[in-house]
Amino acid sequence: MTTETRPSNDPATVPRLHLRHGHSIPHLGLGTWPLVGEECETAVRYAIRSGYRLVDTAFQYRNEDAVGRGVRTAGVAREELFVSSKFNKESHSVDGVQRAYDRSLQALGLEYLDMFMCHWPVPALDQYTEAWRGLVKLLDEGRVKAIGVSNFKPDHLEKVIAATGVVPDVNQIQLSPDLARLPPRAMHQDLGIITEAGALLVANRDCVTTLSWCRSHDGQQRLRRRFCSAGTSSKESSRSRRPPNPHGWSRTSRCSISP
């Protein structure tokens, strides 16, 4: 899907990536941090009506209620959308994940999530394996369609997989033009994990020229085509605190790269 023309509202035209546990994730979507309240609700509704089918939130964002209102008032059937959320360290136990899931559903006003994720491993707490067991339980019970992690390093992934035998559908990590993250991406490819990139267009080092090109209209289109041609699900962030522009990348973005 390019941005020279208005994205189609036909869900059949939205490219998707297959996930390990049978679900599929759209190539292009909206990350909602740090929007809250009416501004967040408007951005979500605008994005969905513009053709976006993936919306990402988290308990830590404090906007699940607004995201839910945007989803419910967008006028698009729920089954056409992919909605994901994440839980915090306070929920790092099997029962804690169940409670966090119910809390997110209540805040969103939805009957199910397409994907639920552990937001951070928090190694100092060393309970992320139990958090992963909780996610596996949700998946086994059919309450969620996909499960993932966020900010997990290769050793964290190895530990949860060894403990449960279950590989995450997605790992959401920081990825940008100056931060390629090749080792974890290689591991993801070997395991069949979708790499979901955060802050795609945010500078982490001295890469002003690269980022200026990426933020130009032409650069944005070429970067989007590059990721999509590689099997990518992009989540454009609302960090600019305005509704997403269907004709160009927002200031920061997240994207998912398939194996």
Dist CA 22 CA 10 (whole Å): 22
Cis peptide before 259 (omega within 30 of 0): no
Listed in sequence order, the DSSP H helices in the chain are 37-49, 64-72, 94-108, 128-140, 154-164, 182-191, 208-215, 217-229
Listed in sequence order, the DSSP H helices in 36-93 are 37-49, 64-72
Residue 61 annotated to the active site: yes
Q: Pick the catalytic residue: 61, 101, 112, 128?
A: 61
Dist CA 183 CA 195 (whole Å): 12
Number of C-beta neighbours around residue 90 at 10 A? 12
* Paired strand residues for 115: 84, 146
Dist CA 165 CA 252 (whole Å): 34
Question: Side-chain half-sphere of 109: how many Cα atoms within 13 Å?
Answer: 10
**Hey, which residues are catalytic here?**
61
